[in-house]
Amino acid sequence: MNIENIEAFVFVIHCGSFNKAAEALYLSQPSVTARIQSLERELDCKLFNRIGKQIQITEEGTRFLPYAQQLLLTYQKGKLHINKKKSLPEEFKIGCTVSVSNYIIPDLLPRLKHKFPNTHYKIVTGVTDDIVAKVLSKEVDIGFVRSVNHPNLQSIKFYEDPISLYAYEGHPFINDDQLSVEAIAAQPFVFFECGALDWLRIHRIFRNLDVPPNIQIQTDNSEMAKKLVIQKAGISFLPGLCVQQEIKDGVLFPIHVPEADGISLQTNIISNHGEHTPFIEALLDVSKELSVRKPILKVI
C-alpha cells in the first residue's frame, strides 16, 4: 500500500476538499485525485462521494480513517527514528503569535537557555496559520499557536489565558458587583478580537439584547486595546496575561461578569511528530514553574 495515497486521503479529510489538500501537499489537484483513486482500487471501495463540487466521506472511508491516521503516524515516527539526530541542535527556532512573544517568551526563554546553555535561539512571530506552515516546512522547530489539529503535527495544550472585562481607574463599574449585561453593553467598548473561537462566546453574552453593545473602537491588537482603556476610551474584554502589570500598577481593574466565566484563549505547542521532545518537555516543566509565580497561567 502506497503511503502517499494514505497521506492524500488523510489530508483531503483534514482540509475538506481536494483542492485544499493539493495546496497543503504541494501537488496538483489531479495528482491528489489520482492518489485517492489508486487507494480506492487497493481497498476495493469508494472513500468519497462526489456531489457536484462537494465531497462527502463514505461509510467505508469513515471506518478506514483511524487506521489511515495510525499508519501515517507510524510511518512518520519510524522515519524520524531512523534519521534521529544524536545531539541537540545548535540553533533552536521558535515560532509564536505576537501575544506569546510579548507575554510568555520573555519568561520562558531564560529558563530554556539555562536548561540548554549551548543552544542558540531564534524567535519568529506570526499568526497561527503562518506558524503552522513554518513548522510543517521546518522553517521553525516548534510553534506556540492557538488550538489547532493537523494530521502531520503533534499539538499539546500549553496554557489557558482567561478573558475578563477590564475598566480604567475611576470607572463606576469597579465597585459594582450587581452589573447587568444591559448596563455593560451600554458602556463605550474598545473591542479586542483575535479571531479565536472563544471570542464567539463574548459575542453571545450580548446576543439577546435589543440593542447591540456600544462598540466605539475595534482592534485585533491587545496592546492597543489595553492602552485605549487606560486612556479612558472605553472598557474591554482582554486576555489576563496582557494586563498583569497594569493591574499591579493600579491603572486597570477587572470587572466580574458571570456570563464570561470560563472563557479563555488556549495556546498549544505544535511540532512535527516525535521531534524536539527534550525541548517540549522542558517547556512544559517551565510552564509549571511559572504557574506557581503567575496564578493566571493555567497549565493543562
DSSP for 219-255?
ES-HHHHHHHHHTTS-BEEEEGGGGHHHHHHTSEEEE
Query: Which residue is associated with the grid cell 517540549?
Result: 280
pLDDT tens profile 226-242:
999 999 999 999 989 88
Q: Cell 522515519, residue?
A: 79
Helix (H, G, I), strand (E, B) or coil at 177: coil
pLDDT at site 294? 46
The one-letter amino acid code at 257 reads V
Name residues of the chain where pLDDT drops below 70: 79-89, 194-199, 289-300
Which residues fall within 8 angstroms of residue 59, CB to CB, at 6 or more apart?
Answer: none
DSSP element (H, E) containing 218: strand 215-219
What is the rounded distance in angstroms from the CA atom of residue 222 to the CA atom of residue 101?
Answer: 13
| Distance of alpha carbon 290 from alpha carbon 144, whole angstroms | 16
In this structure, whether the domain defined by 3-82 belongs to CATH 1.10.10.10 is answered with yes
Distance of alpha carbon 51 from alpha carbon 39, whole angstroms: 20
Q: Is the pTM of this model over 0.95?
A: no
As a whole-number percent, the residues of the chain with pLDDT over 90 amount to 44
Q: Are 119 and 253 in contact (CB under 8 A)?
A: no
State the pLDDT at residue 149: 78
CATH match for 146-300 among 3.40.50.1820, 3.40.50.150, 3.40.190.290, 3.90.1640.10: 3.40.190.290
The full set of domain ranges for the chain reads 3-82, 146-300
Alpha helices in the chain (DSSP H): 3-15, 18-25, 29-43, 59-82, 98-103, 105-115, 128-136, 181-186, 198-205, 222-230, 244-249, 277-293
- Looking at residue 296, its pLDDT comes to 38
pLDDT of residue 297: 43
